[in-house]
Amino acid sequence: MLSDEILMHQSQAETSRNAATEQNRRTLASEIADSPQRAAPLTIRSLSKLMRSGQRVSCLTCYDATTARWLEQAGIEVLLVGDTAGEMVLGFSSTVHTPLDFLITLTAGVKRGAPNTLVMADMPFLSYQADDAEGVRNAGRFMTEGNADLVKVEVDRSFVPLVARMSRAGIPVVAHIGSRPQLSKQQGGYSAAGKSCIDAVALLDDARALVDAGAQMLLVEATPAEVAEQLVRESSVPVIGCGAGPACHGQVVVLQDLLGLTAWQPAFALPAIDFGPQLLAAARGWMQRVRTNDLGPHPYTMTDVQRDAFAAAVAVRRSDSTGSGGTT
C-alpha cells in the first residue's frame, strides 16, 4: 500500500515537473527568438564607432563558456575575463592571487562561448609589472592561447613604455586607470581615485599619456563623476567606467554582483536579481528529489534481446559463483 502511494506521488511529481520544464523551455525559446542575434563578430573598430555614435556599451565580467553564451545571447557587447576570477571563481580574498595560466584558460573558454562578442582579458598581478618584454609576451599569450580581442592592464603613466611596446607588437591595449585593485595591498585596501584636484588632474594626465602611447580604450574605476566626465571630454578613445558615473561610453560591473551572488556589492553594482536564493531553492529541490528517488524518466534502455541475454548471463554468473564455493 505504502509503495503504491510512493509510486503515485512519484508519477504526479514527474508529470508536474515535466509540465513546468516544458513551460520554461517554451518561455525561453520565445525569449531567445526575440533577442537580437549578432550576425558578425564585434570588432574594436565597430565598438569604437558604436560608442562614438552615443550608444552606451555594456560590459560584464565573465569567467566561463556557458555563461558567456547566455551573455552573448543577451546582446552584451564586451565580456571582461577579469582578474576578479581569482576572487569569484577561486575564492581568494584579493585579485593579486589570480594565476596567469588560469586566466588565459578562462579567456579561451569565454571566447568559445561568445565568439561574436568582444572579449577583454585582464592581465593579472606581476604578469606585466616586472619586465616589459615579459609583459608583451604574456599579453601575446592572451591573444594567441586565449583568443582575446583586447588586453587590459592596470597602469599609470609610468607604464607608457610597456603600453607603447605592446601596441607596437599589435596588441589592442585597454589602460585601466583610477582605482587599481592590484595595488590594494600596498594601499591598505580599496579606495576611490581622483577625489582631490591634484589626483584628478594626475588621472587625466595618465590617460593622455597612455592613449598617446597606443592604448585603444580606457577603463576608469571608482572616480567622482565629474572627473570621468572630463576624461571622456578629453579622450580620443572609448572610456568604460566601473563606478565612474554616467558620462562614460560604457559601463562594467562584476557579474556575480549583478546576480546578487556576492555577500556585498558596491553602490554602483546593485543586484538586478536575487539569484542566490534561487540557487539555494534549486539545490534543495535536487536534494529532495535524490532522497525520494524522484529522478525523472530514465534515458537508457536495453532491447528485449539484450535484456534476455543479460538475464541469462547473470544466471550463469550466479551458478558459477555457487559452483566455485561462493554464497548464493
Given a contact cutoff of 8 angstroms between Cβ atoms, the answer to whether 260 and 271 are in contact is yes
Our answer to whether residue 221 is catalytic in this structure is yes
In angstroms, give the least distance from the CB of 284 to ligand KIV: 30
Among 57, 61, 63, 120, binds ligand KIV (CB under 6 A): 61
285 vs 300: CA distance, rounded Å: 23
261 vs 68: CA distance, rounded Å: 17
Given the C-alpha cell 558596491, which residue does it identify?
A: 266
Query: In this complex, which beta carbon is closest to ligand KIV, that of residue 231 or of residue 254?
Result: 254
In angstroms, give the least distance from the CB of 257 to ligand KIV: 9
Site map 17..56 versus ligand KIV, x via CB under 6 A: ----------------------------------------
Which residue's beta carbon is nearest to the bound ligand KIV? Answer: 82
Among 71, 204, 227, 252, binds ligand KIV (CB under 6 A): 252
C-alpha cell at 224: 567622482
- In whole angstroms, how far apart are CA 164 and each of 133, 266, 270? 12, 33, 36
DSSP at 35: S
Site map 114..153 versus ligand KIV, x via CB under 6 A: --------x-------------------------------
In angstroms, give the least distance from the CB of 289 to ligand KIV: 36
Cβ count within 10 A of residue 134 = 14
Q: Is 84 in the site for ligand KIV (CB under 6 A)?
A: yes
In angstroms, give the least distance from the CB of 242 to ligand KIV: 4
In angstroms, give the least distance from the CB of 252 to ligand KIV: 5
67 vs 259: CA distance, rounded Å: 12
Residue 138: closest CA among 110, 90, 94, 104: 104
Q: If 0-12 CB within 10 Å is exposed, 13-18 middle and 19+ buried, where does residue 302 land?
A: exposed
Q: Is 248 in the site for ligand KIV (CB under 6 A)?
A: no
Pairing of strands 173-178, 239-242: unpaired
Choices 67-75, 77-85, 159-167, 290-298 (CB under 6 A): range interacting with ligand KIV: 77-85
Active-site choice (77, 87, 154, 221): 221
Q: Is 223 in the site for ligand KIV (CB under 6 A)?
A: no
Q: Is 206 in the site for ligand KIV (CB under 6 A)?
A: no
Given a contact cutoff of 8 angstroms between Cβ atoms, the answer to whether 188 and 232 are in contact is no
Query: Where do the DSSP E strands lie in the chain?
Result: 57-61, 78-81, 118-122, 150-154, 173-178, 217-221, 239-242, 250-253
Q: Is 242 in the site for ligand KIV (CB under 6 A)?
A: yes
Residues found near ligand KIV in the complex (CB under 6 A): 61, 80, 82-84, 122, 219, 221, 242, 252, 254
Active site positions, annotated: 221
